Structure 1
Amino acid sequence: MSDRNGLRYGLLGLVLIALLVVMVLVFQRPETPTDTPTAAAPAAAPVIESLAALDQQAPSRRDLNIQTWQTAEGAKVLFVAAPELPMFDLRLIFAAGSSQDGDTQGLAMLTNAMLNEGVAGKDVGAIAAGFEGLGAEFGNGAYRDMAVASLRSLSAAEQREPALALFTEVLGAPTFPADSLARIKNQILAGFEFQKQNPGKLASLALFERLYGNHPYAHPSEGTPNSVPSISREQLQAFHARAYTAGNAVIALVGDLSRADAEAMAARVSAALPAGPSLPPPAEPSVPAPGPSHVEFPSNQTHLMIAQLGIDRRDPDYAALYLGNQVFGGGGFGTRLMTEVREKRGLTYGVYSGFSAMQARGPFMINLQTRADQSAGTLQLIKDLLADFIAKGPTQEELDNAKREMAGSFPLSTASNAAIVGQLGSMGFYDLPLTYLEDFMNQVQALTVEQVREAMARHLDSDALVIVTAGPTVEQKELPPPSDTPIEQPTGVPEH
């Protein structure tokens, strides 16, 4: 026998002996009575229960203790302590969206995009490296109503303090360097060229222009090819001084922080901002003339965009309209629109509706794309479905299903610090009560079929629709008859 084989058999013998010893110990171990706990016993593993145990009740959700105060400079603060993770999320929301552009379309968006492009002694690369070196994240964006800047960082003082210092510098004292301004303008102008090849975007631009006329919501947040090139650094500085003031800001803060920590952070951010009051919200828009318009575009598909003025964010019918829209077209599969347009007739890959409630009346919109030669029939079908829903409202079964779905998904709205800080920012910006989240779900669950029908009828009119189509002008075909057997759908999103 070789030395190698001898070693192999020797190791095998040791393993067999050890296995025998373990078996003897196991079979000779005295039984422990099941009703006698022992100090050394491990904790019981969590038991996975059936969803049936919920008995159609809403799952538990996170209770928020929302604290609020105002800084010395006038910023409104909303804070939730969340010690579960050693981090924090900070978000500032300013009434500094494109509705504040005035005659310079794109000014608000460009100002926001330039915030982190330079501060005294640091260019865009140094700012990015500063946040990255601390494990922190900076975010920003501008929309029609608001502009946002956010910071996520570890909450330990050694990371929190330098991250907050850099954030306040970026937010309170941007230098708007000329080279960055030229680069970002070129990126925006390149985006305008890309839009020319996107019929959905062309339809959206035409729709908002028709829906809002001379109102600030009419123009796109990114501005236009004519307005952006002429925006100067001095205009950015003036807009920042006017719109990024403490009095025009809401500070939302969630994380592993004490109340004293949160107050100190909010005060520090607020003091770094320019001094000034809040800006007034945009005026209410005028009701537009209804009817269709068409954007000619060479494609196989036609984009349909159907809209009318909806509600502002504080409208008392918000909950009823939200719930009604979940039944009609906002809840994905199972809605009236998806069932009738996609599943029974196979006319589209997806069709959706929704209310975009803003500071002033936002749009109610339905959008989809369908075969160009069936676009007229599809449009008429959607108008008929909307008219029927306004007249009759949802069925009791549809309403119950929508309520159950909303109750089941609602905990996700507070499932993470990022989700909570988003809710706080919205509540502060639109001046909603601190009990809003609880109030909203209670209102939804208490609504009746008749209340939802009445709310939809108050705010929607199938004869007052603004309609924009984008696609080719082709001979139209009749729609296929509805079928209770689902029609096979395409495997991907259809191309233009």
Structure 2
Amino acid sequence: MQRLISFSLLLVIGLSISGCSLSTTQPQDSKITSLQRLNVDAPARRILDIQTWQTASGTKVFFVQSDELPMLDLQLTFAAGSSQEGAAYGLAQLTNSLIGAGTNKYNADQIAQAFEALGAEFNQGSYRDMAILSLRTLSTAELSQPAVELFAEVITRPNFPVQAIQRVQNQLLASFEQQKKIPSHIANRALFAQLYGTHPYAHPSAGTEQTIPRLKRQQLADFYQTYYNAHNAQLALVGNLTRQDAEAIAEQISRALPQGVAASKTPQPQTPKATHLHIEFPSNQTHILLAQLGIERGHPDYAALFIANQILGGSGFGSRLMEEVREKRGLTYGIYSSFSPMQAQGPFTISVQTRAELSEATLGFVRELLSEYVQNGPTEAELATAKQEFLGSFPLSAASNAAIVGQLGAIGFYDLPLNWLETLMQDVQQLTLEQLNTALRNHIQPDALVVVTVGPSVPQLPLPEPVIRNAQPQGHQH
């Protein structure tokens, strides 16, 4: 899944507050702030001064100058995810993974050794919406300049060696065999197929055992030429360099990329009918996934749905689902819910694993809990706690330049306002119970869920009675 992916929502590439310098200061001899003080004080936060422009070759650039560390983080984001590969499932990820496997000038070992000698890191990633190429290097000119030159060589002149393609294909086929033994992988794959049907999000980004062996070098080269171009990219830079330096680096990289056009946006999916697919699997446990289409990135109800989900099942042990399903009924070790917004509507999902003989009772109970939550919503106390936890953790998610560059990449790719992170925090602070409840009822339909269960067919047991925890006896002391 695309950070399902990862996502609880996690603001996916999105839960960070910005910046370069703290907006509040503290005396040098200040002590650790008490938890009680955190409850009442507004969280200190870093404010991004985002500068943006477009290169001569058509690449949009997002830059934040950050002088605290002698580092440069750079990220290119392309609309080159698996939603662009058509029926050649796995083509986007295979192409991305082999950028760095060699150029006409260097082989893979030489590339790795050269980056290592410069103290630089090269990374890549491919998902349903996007593909990413990134560089981290020291910002001193004698190291950053050769690192950027090497990065530009690697990402703009890949030669996709046949032996490397075959090696990765074999690795993927081996991983597919392993995944057949993992019920969570089976469930996730089936869920996306059921939820998205013929939409580009339906198939796994890694491809399938049928499609991967058929992919040829020319297909990789063509996909690269079509989607890894200057007009289909956003470039994010964060680090200890000037605007002039950033402009020079951006022009150097953008000019070296192939010319082309921006990819079309992924269309919205059709709403699927409510279904329940059961997949037989020999196990003592049954994996249960419940899902429906959620929202796309940038939706105005994002803040309300994020907080609503935190209360429902996104906050771990403090969530309603965890309290009711694990703590009171003992049905599972963990149950979680998440919104995973993407360029098109991403999934809203609830996932739980339980004893096979309690799978039907657990599924029915989770449905009841979701229906009750959508109908009645959270309490004022739950909303206040969720806000407090969000606002307390929000500034910590931009603690590094690498985190900030990821946020810039998301802002650019999803065409979000430059002040999106600040606006999100303000929206959460001002969120009312009425707004949250309205968003819940507008976006979650408990009677229209797509359900996938993976496990054995066994005789079923009834739902256990809840455990009533006795109040602590008076006079007991810790």
Superposition TM-score, scaled by structure 2 size: 0.91
SS in 2 for 1:250: strand
Query: C-alpha distance in 1, partners of 2:328/2:40?
Result: 29
The amino acid of 2:176's aligned partner reads: F
Matched, 1:427 2:384: no
The amino acid of 1:384's aligned partner reads: E
Query: C-alpha distance in 2, partners of 1:403/1:240?
Result: 43
Query: C-alpha distance in 1, partners of 2:33/2:460?
Result: 54
Residue in 2 aligned with 1:217? 201
SS in 2 for 1:165: helix
The amino acid of 2:340's aligned partner reads: S
Residue in 2 aligned with 1:457? 441
1:84 to 50, 59, 68: 68
CA pair 54-363 structure 1, distance change in 2 beyond 3 A: closer
Residue in 1 aligned with 2:17? none
User: Over residues 50-72 of structure 1, what are the superposed CA-to-partner deviations in whole Å (9 max), with x where a residue is unaligned?
Assistant: 33334522320111111111111
Identity of aligned residues (%): 55
2:86 to 102, 105, 115: 102
Displacement after TM superposition at 1:485 (Å):
2.5
Matched, 1:193 2:177: yes
Say if 1:312 and 1:359, in contact at 8 Å, map to a contact too: yes
SS in 1 for 2:181: coil
Displacement after TM superposition at 1:207 (Å):
0.7
2:257 to 260, 267, 273: 273
Displacement after TM superposition at 1:319 (Å):
1.0
The amino acid of 2:362's aligned partner reads: T
Residue in 1 aligned with 2:267? 283
Query: C-alpha distance in 2, partners of 1:200/1:235?
Result: 31
Residue in 2 aligned with 1:248? 232
Query: C-alpha distance in 1, partners of 2:322/2:198?
Result: 34
Displacement after TM superposition at 1:129 (Å):
0.4
SS in 1 for 2:418: coil
Matched, 1:163 2:147: yes
User: Over residues 160-187 of structure 1, what are the superposed CA-to-partner deviations in whole Å (9 max), with x where a residue is unaligned?
Assistant: 0111011111111100001101100000
Q: CA RMSD in A?
A: 1.2
SS in 2 for 1:252: strand
Query: C-alpha distance in 2, partners of 1:331/1:451?
Result: 20
User: Over residues 345-403 of structure 1, what are the superposed CA-to-partner deviations in whole Å (9 max), with x where a residue is unaligned?
Assistant: 11111111111111111110011111111110010111011101111111100000000
The amino acid of 1:424's aligned partner reads: L
Residue in 1 aligned with 2:375? 391
Query: C-alpha distance in 1, partners of 2:173/2:373?
Result: 42
Say if 2:380 and 2:433, in contact at 8 Å, map to a contact too: yes
**Higher RCO (CA < 8 A, seq sep 6+):** 2
Displacement after TM superposition at 1:291 (Å):
1.9
Displacement after TM superposition at 1:412 (Å):
1.6
Displacement after TM superposition at 1:44 (Å):
6.6
1:146 to 130, 136, 155: 130
Residue in 1 aligned with 2:210? 226
Bigger radius of gyration: 1
CA pair 424-452 structure 1, distance change in 2 beyond 3 A: same
Residue in 2 aligned with 1:313? 297
Residue in 1 aligned with 2:109? 125
Query: C-alpha distance in 1, partners of 2:331/2:421?
Result: 37
User: Over residues 119-153 of structure 1, what are the superposed CA-to-partner deviations in whole Å (9 max), with x where a residue is unaligned?
Assistant: 11211111100101100001101000000010000
Query: C-alpha distance in 1, partners of 2:91/2:375?
Result: 43
SS in 2 for 1:119: coil
Structure 2 segments unaligned to the other structure (5+ residues) = 1-26, 471-478
Residue in 1 aligned with 2:18? none
Query: C-alpha distance in 1, partners of 2:361/2:292?
Result: 20
Structure 1 segments unaligned to the other structure (5+ residues) = 1-42, 487-496
Say if 2:196 and 2:270, in contact at 8 Å, map to a contact too: yes
Say if 2:295 and 2:346, in contact at 8 Å, map to a contact too: yes
The amino acid of 2:241's aligned partner reads: L
Relative to structure 2, which stretch is displaced further, 477-486 or 81-90?
Answer: 477-486
Query: C-alpha distance in 2, partners of 1:110/1:55?
Result: 47
Say if 2:38 and 2:392, in contact at 8 Å, map to a contact too: no
SS in 2 for 1:117: coil
SS in 2 for 1:333: helix
SS in 1 for 2:421: helix
The amino acid of 1:188's aligned partner reads: L
The amino acid of 1:112's aligned partner reads: N
The amino acid of 2:139's aligned partner reads: S
Displacement after TM superposition at 1:46 (Å):
4.1
CA pair 473-156 structure 1, distance change in 2 beyond 3 A: same
1:466 to 446, 450, 457: 450
Residue in 2 aligned with 1:72? 56
CA pair 249-482 structure 1, distance change in 2 beyond 3 A: same
The amino acid of 1:92's aligned partner reads: L
Say if 1:114 and 1:180, in contact at 8 Å, map to a contact too: yes
Say if 1:351 and 1:366, in contact at 8 Å, map to a contact too: yes
Residue in 1 aligned with 2:321? 337
Query: C-alpha distance in 1, partners of 2:32/2:217?
Result: 59
Query: C-alpha distance in 1, partners of 2:405/2:158?
Result: 24
User: Over residues 68-118 of structure 1, what are the superposed CA-to-partner deviations in whole Å (9 max), with x where a residue is unaligned?
Assistant: 111111111111111000011101110000000112111100000000000
SS in 1 for 2:333: strand
Residue in 2 aligned with 1:58? 42
CA pair 246-328 structure 1, distance change in 2 beyond 3 A: same
Matched, 1:349 2:336: no
Say if 1:215 and 1:285, in contact at 8 Å, map to a contact too: yes
Query: C-alpha distance in 2, partners of 1:58/1:367?
Result: 34
Say if 2:76 and 2:234, in contact at 8 Å, map to a contact too: yes
